[in-house]
């Protein structure tokens, strides 16, 4: 937690951006003759910046794009591959000049391939070869990295690399290919291997609006560092983090139709794409009777998109929502500056952005969006504040459920005491 506070103190720009966006919204309410006086609006925006809850990973005050070192690290491995000494990294192919990727038929359920890429035959793909593919076609997209087993995002990234399909084709698959299995380096210990997989259909075609699955070598415009899975990791745009295997070392082309993911062995639903949900960033825990309640937060825009953030404030007893009175919060526009990137601008050709670096639509799937709201004053008592999202199909998200094998699916609730 101390470390997170360190990041918090050193990286004010996300907070500043959040405050700037929310201030514009609150001041707008004043000129519209709304709920707040000018003095109140100033007071809540100043208050807001003090009340951010840095203990929530995705809520960390940080630039819009999270610096690589500020991602929360949940990697497995003893020792952690990124903690190996440089010499060992060079020995096992964890540096850019020693990295090799083998592309093989799965020994147990082989696909028929014409050109396996192996170290033994000296044709494994090296970093220069990967960059060469990248010269022909680089893929770049924004995506929030979220762990299926945690509630909050680990970090927001601009990921860059080569389409996985371009690498699969190098191996000349001919027949009996149903899935691509992929492994990351784990100390040459079979028990430690971290692996995941995708149906070949997802590798070869992209669902509407989604970028390709990539072999990623850059994050936020810089070489992917060792802690984030460098030199090369998989990044699967629409999925939770466990599909984005780090320290990528092997692709196995298989005729097996089922997943062999490490996360499947651990009791998780491995076919669950990223959910849409809302969370608070700043909310007062106590207010005076009759005083307006100003709240700000962010939403993770999952696979189902985002059309609205909604909030409710109800007496804390009974514990369940009885009235179901949801009010629309204000979804704030895209950041004006893409803080956390070199030059704070988006390069042309980035998926989902136009040639001038503006998002083609907002909110954008797979990213974080900001929201803010002001609720009218209520009589004294204990209240429960809730926030949720309405996805692009008009369905309230997340669909709450008692089991969480498919990822965090809770409506955020905060107790507010009105005195
Ligand atoms: N090789 C390897 N890749 C891995 C993991 C791992 O332990 N080893 N963890 C996965 C999980 S569970 C998540 S949530 C993401 C986290 O990515 P990050 O470290 O960039 O935040 O990496 C994934 N890739
Ligand atoms: Mo994870």
Question: Is the pLDDT higher at 341 or at 5?
Answer: 341
Say how many Å lie between the CA of residue 147 and the centre of ligand 2: 4
Say how many Å lie between the CA of residue 147 and the centre of ligand 1: 8
For 287-299, write each residue's pLDDT tens digit.
999 999 999 999 9
Ligand 1 neighbours, Cβ below 6 Å, are 71, 73-76, 145, 147, 154-155, 184, 194, 228-229, 241-242, 244-247
Poorest-pLDDT segment among 24-33, 62-71, 241-250, 346-355: 24-33
The pLDDT-based confidence of 180 (bands split at 50, 70, 90) is very high
**Residues that place a CB less than 5 A from ion ligand 2:** 147, 241-242
For 317-360, write each residue's pLDDT tens digit.
876 655 668 999 999 999 888 999 988 999 999 999 999 999 99
Per-residue confidence (pLDDT) for residue 90, from 0 to 100:
98
Atom 10 of ligand 1, nearest CA residue = 242
Residue to probe by mutation, ligand 1, list 65, 74, 222, 227, most atoms within 8 Å of CB: 74
For 113-151, write each residue's pLDDT tens digit.
999 999 999 999 999 999 999 999 999 999 999 999 987
The pLDDT-based confidence of 383 (bands split at 50, 70, 90) is very high
Task: Give the mean model confidence (pLDDT) for residues 202-212.
Answer: 97
Ligand at shortest distance from the CA of 226 = 1
Ligand at shortest distance from the CA of 244 = 1
User: What's the predicted TM-score (pTM) here?
Assistant: 0.89
Domains of the chain: 2-62+275-418 (2.60.40.650), 74-266 (3.90.420.10)
For 361-371, write each residue's pLDDT tens digit.
999 999 999 99
Atom 24 of ligand 1, nearest CA residue = 245
Q: Which of 126, 341, 77, 398 is nearest to 229 (CA)?
A: 77
């Amino acid at each position: 937690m101390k470390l997170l506070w360190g990041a918090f103190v050193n990286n004010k720009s996300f907070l500043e951006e959040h405050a700037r966006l929310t201030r514009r919204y609150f001041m707008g309410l004043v000129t519209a003759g709304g709920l707040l006086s000018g003095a109140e609006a100033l007071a809540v925006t100043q208050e807001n910046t003090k009340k951010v809850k840095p203990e929530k990973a995705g809520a960390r005050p940080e630039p819009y794009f999270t610096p690589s070192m500020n991602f929360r690290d949940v990697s497995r491995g003893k020792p952690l591959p990124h903690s190996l000494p440089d010499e060992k990294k060079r020995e096992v192919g964890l540096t850019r000049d020693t990295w090799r990727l083998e592309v093989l038929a799965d020994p147990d359920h082989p696909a028929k391939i014409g050109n396996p890429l192996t170290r033994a035959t000296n044709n494994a793909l090296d970093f220069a070869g990967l960059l060469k593919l990248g010269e022909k076609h680089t893929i770049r997209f924004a995506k929030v990295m979220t762990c299926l087993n945690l509630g909050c995002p680990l970090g927001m990234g601009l990921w860059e690399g080569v389409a996985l399909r371009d690498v699969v084709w190098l191996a000349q698959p001919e027949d009996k290919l149903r899935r691509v299995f992929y492994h990351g380096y784990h100390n040459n210990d079979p028990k430690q291997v971290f692996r995941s997989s995708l149906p070949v259909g997802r590798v070869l075609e992209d669902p509407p609006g989604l970028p390709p699955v990539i072999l990623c070598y850059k994050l936020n415009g810089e070489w992917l560092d060792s802690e984030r899975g460098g030199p090369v990791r998989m990044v699967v745009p629409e999925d939770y983090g466990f599909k984005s295997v780090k320290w990528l070392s092997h692709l196995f082309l298989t005729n097996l139709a089922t997943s062999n993911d490490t996360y499947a062995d651990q009791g998780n639903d491995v076919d669950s794409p990223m959910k849409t949900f809302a969370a608070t960033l700043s909310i007062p825990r106590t207010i005076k009777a009759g005083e307006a309640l100003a709240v700000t937060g962010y939403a993770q825009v999952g696979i189902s998109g985002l059309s609205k953030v909604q909030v409710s404030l109800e007496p804390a007893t009974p514990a369940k929502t009885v009235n179901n009175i949801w009010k629309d919060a204000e979804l704030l526009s895209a950041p004006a500056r893409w803080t956390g990137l070199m030059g704070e601008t988006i390069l042309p050709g980035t998926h989902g952005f136009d040639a001038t670096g503006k998002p083609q639509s907002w909110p954008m799937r797979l990213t974080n969006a900001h929201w803010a709201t002001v609720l009218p004053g209520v009589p004294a008592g204990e209240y429960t504040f809730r926030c949720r999202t309405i996805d692009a199909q008009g369905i309230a998200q997340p669909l709450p459920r008692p089991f969480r094998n498919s990822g965090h699916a809770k409506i955020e609730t905060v107790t507010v005491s009105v005195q």
